[in-house]
Amino acid sequence: MSGKKTYAGIDLFRLIAAFLIVAIHTSPLASWSQTADFILTRVIARTAVPFFFMTSGFFLISKYGDSADRLKLFLKRTAVIYAAAILLYIPINIYNGYFAADNLLPELIKDLVFDGTFYHLWYLPASMLGAVIAWYAVKRRGFNGALIITGILYVIGMLGNSYYELVSQAPAIKGFYDLLGQVSDYTRNGIFFAPLFMVLGGWLADRSAQKSDASVKTDIIFFAVSLALMLGEAMLLQRDYNAQRNDSMYLFLVPCMYFLFRVLLCFKGKRRRELRSVSLIIYIVHPMMIVVVRAAARLLKLWNVLVGNSAVHYLAVSFLSAAFAFAAVLIWGKIGKPAKNQGKGGERAWIETDLNNLAHNVKALRGIMQKGCELMAVVKAEAYGHGSYETAVCLEGLGVKAFAVATVEEGIALRKYGISGEILILGYTSPYRARELKRYRLIQTIIDLKYARALERQKVSVMAHIKIDTGMHRLGIDAEDIRSVERVYSMRHIRVCGIYSHLCCSDSLNEEDVLFTRSQIERFHRLLDRVKKDGFDAGKVHIQSSYGLLNYPELKCDYVRAGIALYGVLSRPDDEVRNPIELRPVLSLKSKVALIREVKKGESVGYGRAFTAERDCLIAILPIGYCDGVPRSLSCKAGQAEIRGKTVPVVGRVCMDSIAVDVTDVEDIAVGDVATLISDDPQSPLCAPEAAKRSDSISNELLCRMGARLERK
């Protein structure tokens, strides 16, 4: 993902939520109005803990990805924080006689797993247990199944919480909750409370690509309505029915949190990651600060002011908690991190992908497609260098339901990322891997009749699209060989669900090429007519790639296989198309100045002394080379970079791991300055088509060669 500013709303609300939790434990309005304090602490502030659960789920839980490494790291970090918090409160536990209680061992185990060893620490074990339940529910059942499972758990917990006195009139139900009470003092825990909100957070994360800022007003209205309904629910349960055993779990809390989180996602700005640590520290230490304020009130004989006045008490506890938290974060920032190197430090070289531009290109391409036609996103070769994971996840979030790859390995990787749409393998797959094709629900291209027979002999039911050779003479059954095509349709184990061809010169508007392309289209449709006439269901039909759509948008097919245009560029900068649309490049390639050296007139730089200075100059070394995908043909001024808004030439030969650029004319050049080698500005001389042209290639090749060792942002 690009370095765009985002999630500022989440970061800010972390701090707000922390102070709401302080309010729960200090009742700031109690001195004036019990009703007002009830609304604040028992309704509004009840959004705080679910928000933290949703935030954890947002950044942790996704159907996209098969590795549990993030879960393990989350559990490890939370366990360390929990252990530290337990140690912090041991003195108060001793003072309160915690360790002198009867049945200490079973109570201690119960507290460690569910209730927390101090009244507010239940959140930490609940986070760990809830994360495990939510993670595996999503992995095994997807989000729909996980929401059902965790929703049922939430209802069970809610009935034993806010609705307890109502449902406990039935002896069997009361017995059930009494039994649960022997395991955990509250149903507000990691089994019944946390999982639903964590799944909900992950669900929103996987759909954040579809989030539109324009919907924020609607979300605010729905949040306000949900909060009002939750207030009515709480007042009804508390005052009219006295039904609450606890008051943490409400029916309307779920939609309230859903719409609140959607609102927060609309607020973008600079990320304040330190607020994560600050809010957590406030949460952990505020009971300690309550003790400090009360002790100070006794010592200074200011009890009526610091404690008797609930608002002052709240402000004092909040101030001390925040001061301690910010000081701790500041100190840890100084001593907990190694000193930065000179310059701006950080990365060697990286790719930035702007997923907002990707979304724009999807919309633009759909805008000229025929009604009923769907986009098939070509994400082979790491999505043309953009990163298959990031790209495919974003595209599926945008409603793309069909993908094309080149190899079975690429298809399997998409499935393991969690992609659920159709995946067509455009290239060859060994027939002996038929079981993998079936297992991962991949669609295999039938490249000729002999290949189809070999695949059929595996006796494994495999989905397939038949490739038709209409004149490119690469893969496919000849368009005139209707008998072979129909034999494939008739095979028992190969389930043909589509048929397609490829237009080999649809990128050209040369009259001869246009005539050839139209002849390909005619041959393809003539075959389709014969197949349908003979009683076969052709399945999904597709023949257009990016240029096929831009130059022949009138063709009526089921899919358009969009590749290079999806990523916001054309193959060559001077390509003309019949239906130009606004495309926005998705990828930019960047590095940082690692070294600046003075080179005297007459001295040479690099291999073969290919560059000799014609003046005294400054040369910047960029730690990126042809191993990272920068073509060696961009050596000796053929290549360019942009530093501090100035375009500078590549001097000498592009090396495997480094490039030299002449920065003599760049003012205030410094180590750590960012250098752009491929720009996402379509008007820039550094955009992919221009760079590809200078390297005597096309954008497709240039982008696909981006090295695997580059970090993607």
Tokens of 196: 């639903």
Q: Are 47 and 20 in contact (CB under 8 A)?
A: yes
DSSP result, 75-87 = HHHHHHHHHHHHH
Spatial neighbors of 665 by CB under 8 A, at least 6 apart, are 646, 648
Neighbours of 184 (CB within 10 A): 22
Q: Are 547 and 580 in contact (CB under 8 A)?
A: no
Tokens of 366: 């759909």
Q: Of the candidates 147, 157, 144, which has an alpha carbon nearest to the alpha carbon of residue 114?
A: 157
Spatial neighbors of 146 by CB under 8 A, at least 6 apart, are 134, 137, 138, 199
380/390 Cα distance (integer angstroms): 13
Tokens of 350: 């990286």
The CA R_g of the chain, rounded to the nearest whole Å, is: 31
Residue 337 sits at φ, ψ, to 5 deg, of: -125, 145
135/145 Cα distance (integer angstroms): 12
540/499 Cα distance (integer angstroms): 6
Q: Which helix (H) or strand (E) holds 584?
A: none
Spatial neighbors of 430 by CB under 8 A, at least 6 apart, are none
Neighbours of 338 (CB within 10 A): 5
Q: Are 503 and 548 in contact (CB under 8 A)?
A: yes
Q: Are 81 and 280 in contact (CB under 8 A)?
A: yes
Helical packing angle, 34-42 and 8-26, nearest 10°: 140
From the centroid of its chain, how far is CA 458? 38
| Cα angle, residue 506 at apex, residues 503 and 512 outer, rounded to 5° | 105
DSSP result, 347-380 = -SEEEEE-HHHHHHHHHHHHHTSPTT-EEEEE-H
Euclidean distance between the first and the last CA atom of the chain, given in angstroms as a whole number: 4
Catalytic residue numbers read 380, 607
| Cα angle, residue 548 at apex, residues 547 and 549 outer, rounded to 5° | 90
Angstrom distances, CA of residue 211 to CA of 219, 392, 394, 474, 710: 11, 17, 11, 42, 29
DSSP three-state, residue 350: strand
371/133 Cα distance (integer angstroms): 43
